[in-house]
Every structure is written in C-alpha cells, then in structure tokens.
Amino acid sequence: MTHSELFMDPGLARAARALCLVSTKVVALRSGLDEQRIREYERGVGALDAAEVQALTDALTYFGARFIPESDRGGVGVRRKFTRTKVEMIDTWEAEGGPVGEDDV
C-alpha cells in the first residue's frame, strides 16, 4: 500500500469506516489489528502507534476511502474513492448473479 502523510484522528477513522459501510470486524481482519482496539481508537479512549495507524489507513483505503490531507484550502477529510454513480454500477454488477452457464457462443 501507499504510505501517506496524513494525520489520522479517531473521528476521521470512524467517518471513513462509516462512509465505506464496513464493520470494525472487517477492518480488523484487513488491517491485522484487534477489533476492540479499533473501536477504542474510534471512541478516542485508545491509542494506536504509527504503524497501526498506517495499517488502519491502508485497510480503509482498500475499502474505498480516499483521505484528503490538510492544505491551505481546508482541514483533513475523507470521501469515497468512487462517485455515487460508480458505486451504484458496482452494486448492480455484484448483484447480477444468476446460475452459471456455458459462455460459448
């Protein structure tokens, strides 16, 4: 994963996870962190070291979060990696399903 110069705080982590619609359990599995530690970090009652914050950031990025670093235009933030239209298209593709059949023409 790409390492970023980003100040990750508990609110930003919680917002990114909510935006991506993933549970702490799923993020924990992807990041290799303990689920309870992620919950505590998001509530502001626990701390993560720099490597753990990077693992959390990488996991959230994998699930579609795009972090916006602080600049002269504003503070840090998070948004979806894909537009609403793209997310709807992906949801449609994933929901198509159906029985598997021969694809020879």
Confidence at residue 71, expressed as pLDDT on a 0 to 100 scale: 82
Ranges of each domain in the chain: 10-89
For residue 44, the model assigns a pLDDT of 92
Q: Span 10-89: which CATH code?
A: 1.10.260.40
- pLDDT for 104 equals 58
| pLDDT on residue 84 | 60
Q: What is the pLDDT of residue 72?
A: 86
- Helix, strand, or coil (residue 79): strand
pTM for this entry? 0.71
Compute mean pLDDT per 10 residues along the chain, 105 residues long, and list them. Answer: 64 92 93 96 92 94 88 83 65 64 58
Pairing, β 77-80 against β 65-68: antiparallel
pLDDT at residue 86, as a whole number: 64
| CA atoms lying within 13 Å on the CB side of residue 82 | 12
